[in-house]
Structure 1
Amino acid sequence: MRRLNAVLWDVDGTLAETERDGHRVAFNLAFEALGLPWHWDVARYGQLLGITGGRERLQHDMASRSDAPATARERLMLAEELHRLKNHHYAEQVRSGAVVLRPGVVQVMGQCAERGIRMALATTTSRVNVEALLRVQLGSRWASWFEAIVCGEDVRHKKPDPEVYRQVLAQLGLSPLETLAIEDAPMGLAAARAAEVPVVVTRSAYFDNAIFDGAIAIGPGLHQRQGWRPALPKAEGAPIGLDDLIDWHAQMDCVSQSV
C-alpha cells in the first residue's frame, strides 16, 4: 500500500473562497483609489481567473481597454501599483472577517498535525496575501503548520506550470506519490498532475461547474460526504477526514467529472 506522507494545500479557492468576495472586491477598491472607472463584476472576474496571477490578470484586462495606458511599460507600472493597493485592501478584508477558511479545512489540518502527516502550501498567489489570510485564521505562528511554503514570488512560471509543486517536493524531500494535493481549479489540478502529484479536488464557487480530468477524488468540499466521486460511505453529519484522504491516496484511481 502506498503511504501518504504529506498533504499539499493550494490557497485561493481551496483553503478559502478568496476570489469572489476577497480579491475581486479588493481589485475594485484599488481601481476606485486610483480614480479608474473600472469594475470587475462576478462574471467578469470569473473569466479573468483563466489568467493565473493578479498582475498578469490586470495586464490581460488592460490589453482590451481603450482607456488603459498605451504602452506595455505603462500598463506594467499601473498593474504593479494596482496590485500593491489590492493587496492592502485584501488584507483589510481578511482582518474584517470577510474571508474565512472553508468548512472542514482546519479539522483536516489538525488531523494531519496529530498523526504526523506533513503539510505544505503550493500556491502561486502572493506571499503577503497568504500571510494576511492565515495569520488571522491560524494565528501568529501559522507558518509552523507547514514544512514548505512556496508562493508566487518563488516561481518563474505559475500554475498550470508544475514548478510550484516541484519546488515543494524538493523542499520536502519526497517523491510525488508520497504526497496528495488539494486543489479547487482545473489549472491547479493540471499543475499538480504535471508534477505527478495525485490530486483531490474540492470545488470552489468559481469552478463549481468546471471539468476536472485526472483527479483521484472530486467533491463539493471537506465539510460534507455527499456529492463526492468516488462515492463515500454514509456517515450522518460527518465531514471528510484524513482517513478519507488516505483511502483515496491508497487506491489512487483517477476519476473525471463534469456537471
Structure 2
Amino acid sequence: MLEDNLLFDCDGVLVDTEKDGHRVSFNDTFNEKELGVTWDVDLYGELLKIGGGKERMTAYFNKTGWPEKAPKSEEERKEFIASLHKRKTELFMALIEEIVTSSARRCKVSAVVSFLLGPERAEKIKAIYTLAANTLGVDPSSCVVVEDSAIGLAAAKAAAMKCIVTKSGYTADEDFLNADAVFDCIGDPPEERFDLAFCGSLLEKQYVS
C-alpha cells in the first residue's frame, strides 16, 4: 500500500520547527552554557544550508571564532560540540514532543517518523531514508518522500526515491529543479495540494518509456 511507502520529513513538513524549535533550542543551549552566542532568524536561515546540527555549530565557530569556554584541541572540541548538540536535542524534544505527536496522529504518518526522531537516528538524511525503506520492508524506488529543503531533496534522490517538495519559510528560494513536484504547502482539507492518488501517479511515471 502506498501509505506504507510515503515518507515525511519532520522539520519544515509535518511541523515548521526550524525557526521556533531548533533555533530556539540552540539558543537556549548557548545561554545555559554562557557562551555569549545567539542565532537570529536571518543568521539561522543561512546556517541551515549546512546539514546537521553538529556540523552547523562547528562551521559557525570555525568562521566566527570559538567561545572562550570552548576547549582548544580538535578532539576536545568535537566532544564539546557533541555535548552541546545532545543538550540542544533534549531541549528541542521537550519543546516539540506534544506538537509532533498530535501532528503525526492527525496526518496518519507511519511510525517511522517517531523512529527517525529517536536518539539512534542515522546522521545522514540519505541513510535515514534508506533505513526507513529497509525497516518498512519496501523497495526505495517505490517510495515517495515529502521534503522541504534542497538538502532533503538531494538525499531522497540519492536514495532512489521520488520526492515532493513543500516549501517552508527558510527554503522557499532554494533550487528544487530535480523535484518530482513542488507545492507551497501540503494544505488542509478541502484545500490539500496533493493526495495519495497524486503520489501514486509519480510512481507510475517511472515505468513509462
Q: TM-score range by the shorter chain?
A: 0.7 to 0.9
After TM superposition, the structure 1 stretch with the greater mean CA deviation from structure 2, 31-40 or 69-78, is 69-78
- 1:97-145: CA deviation from partner (whole Å, max 9, x where unpaired): xxxxxxxxxxxxxxxxxxxxxxxxxxxxxxxxxx665335446xx9994
The answer for the alignment partner of 2:100 in structure 1 is: 134
Matched position secondary structure for 2:177: strand
CA 1:190 to 1:21, structure 2 compared with 1: closer, same or farther past 3 Å? same
The answer for the alignment partner of 1:30 in structure 2 is: 29
CA contact (8 A) 1:91 1:133 kept: no
Task: Return the alpha-carbon distance in structure 2 between the equivalents of residues 136 and 74 of structure 1.
Answer: 39
Question: In structure 2, what residue type is equivalent to 1:146?
Answer: A
The answer for the alignment partner of 1:124 in structure 2 is: none
Aligned residues: 199
Task: Return the alpha-carbon distance in structure 1 between the equivalents of residues 98 and 73 of structure 2.
Answer: 33
Higher strand share: 1
The answer for the alignment partner of 1:8 in structure 2 is: 7
- 1:208 corresponds to 2:175: no
CA contact (8 A) 1:198 1:252 kept: no
CA 1:143 to 1:60, structure 2 compared with 1: closer, same or farther past 3 Å? farther
TM-score (norm 2): 0.81
Question: In structure 2, what residue type is equivalent to 1:134?
Answer: V
Higher helix share: 2
CA 1:49 to 1:144, structure 2 compared with 1: closer, same or farther past 3 Å? closer
CA contact (8 A) 2:15 2:103 kept: no
Matched position secondary structure for 1:200: strand
Q: CA RMSD in A?
A: 2.9
CA contact (8 A) 1:216 1:252 kept: no
Unpaired stretches in structure 2, ≥5 consecutive residues? none
- Residue 82 of structure 1, aligned match among 84, 93, 103: 84
Question: What are the within-5 Å matches in structure 2 for residues 211-226 of structure 1?
Answer: 211-223=175-187
- 1:153 corresponds to 2:120: yes
TM-score (norm 1): 0.67
Task: Return the alpha-carbon distance in structure 2 between the equivalents of residues 50 and 239 of structure 1.
Answer: 28
Unpaired stretches in structure 1, ≥5 consecutive residues? 95-130, 225-235, 254-259
